[in-house]
Each structure stands twice: as C-alpha cells, then as structure tokens.
C-alpha cells in the first residue's frame, strides 16, 4: 500500500487537521506494516501558485519550453506522480474563511491536468485518478450542518472531477468554541476514524 499524506495547516504542531491525518496514517500503517508513506507539508513547503508564467509553460509544447518553463512544469509533474502512485490519499483540509487554505488549492491546481489526471469526452469530463481511497480531515472553528457546509462540496467536487470518488470526510468541529466543545469535536473525529478503519 502506498499512502500519500498531504497537510496544509499553518498551525504546525498545534494543527488539529494534521493530528487527524497523522492518526489516519498511523492506523493504516498499523494494519498494513509494509505500507510506504510519502508526506508533503504544503504549509512549510508551499507549491508555487498557478500564475501567468506557469500557465504559459503548461501550454507551451514540451520541445519548445525554455529551461525555466520546463523546471516549472516539472514541479507539477512531481505532485502528479505522487498522487498517481498512491493507493490511499490522506488530505488535511482545515477550514480557512469557509474554504480550504490557498496552499491546498495550489496543490489541486497542480495535479489537475487535462489529458493526464482528467480528460474531456463526448459524455463529459472523466477523472483519471481512479481506484484510490481518500480520507479528508477537516478542522473548523465552528459547526456546520451538512446542508450548510461551504467547504465539503467544493473538495468533493474536485476529488470527483479527478476520478477519486471513494472518499471519507473526517470532521473535527467546534475548535474555536471553547475547550469543552473543542474536545468533543476531536472526539467526534476520532470516532469517525475508528468507524472508517475498523
């Protein structure tokens, strides 16, 4: 089993979403001792955002790219190779201003490449990153019911678009609502992990 762990919290050792991803990975490894784990901390080592230069490099034929353009595309290629090689992807997705951190959005921008991780067909887009299990660890300051959650539909749409349709969301809510509520939120996340990996 190849496990890819992506974290994106700016809170370092205090990050709840990272705690949850670490817990998921630890349980996966305990159940699969021969598993390999690749980790990428997008907060400590941010991937460059999609900008005009990066877009220009991607739309330039390989043989016509400058060394700078080739180097920029190679950065995205490395992320794509990691997710292609993974059997399980564990994403840390804290909620920042009702969405995901810009660092995580840059990761999605990098791995979403037409003809490589998705393609357009007569029947519509088809994701090419199939056959992977995805765990998404969300940590949020408040509590959001499913019909009013601004973050999950966006992340689910991105994953589905890329072909990663087997996903489990693990929520750790109420992290800014006082110690008792935060503790209950962490317990909720832990219970979800236990149920998902039983």
Q: Which residues contact 95 (CB under 8 A, 6 or more apart)?
A: 138, 139, 140, 141, 151
CA distance 120 to 125: 4
Distance in angstroms between the alpha carbons of the first and the last residue of the chain: 17
* Maximal C-alpha separation, the chain: 59
CA distance 167 to 129: 13
Could you tell me the CA-to-CA distances from 127 to 13, 58, 142, 166 in Å, in that order?
34, 19, 32, 12
Binding-site members are 9, 15-17, 95-98
Binding-site members for FMN are 9, 15-17, 95-98
């Amino acid at each position: 089993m190849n496990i890819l762990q992506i974290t994106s919290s700016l809170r370092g050792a205090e990050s709840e979403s990272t705690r949850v991803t670490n817990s998921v990975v630890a349980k996966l490894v305990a159940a699969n001792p021969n598993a390999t784990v690749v980790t990428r901390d997008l907060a400590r080592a941010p991937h460059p955002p999609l900008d005009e230069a990066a877009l220009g490099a991607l739309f330039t034929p390989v043989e016509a790219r400058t060394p700078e353009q080739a180097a920029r595309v190679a950065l995205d290629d490395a992320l794509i190779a990691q997710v292609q090689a993974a059997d399980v992807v564990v994403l840390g997705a804290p909620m920042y201003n009702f969405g995901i951190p810009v660092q995580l959005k840059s990761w999605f921008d990098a791995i979403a490449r037409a003809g490589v991780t998705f393609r357009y067909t007569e029947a519509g887009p088809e994701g090419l990153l199939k056959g992977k299990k995805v765990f998404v660890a969300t940590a949020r300051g408040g509590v959001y019911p499913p019909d009013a959650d601004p973050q999950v539909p966006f992340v689910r749409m991105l994953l589905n678009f890329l072909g990663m349709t087997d996903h489990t969301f693990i929520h750790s809510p109420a992290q800014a609502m006082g110690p008792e509520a935060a503790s209950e939120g962490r317990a909720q996340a832990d219970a979800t992990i236990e149920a998902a990996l039983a």
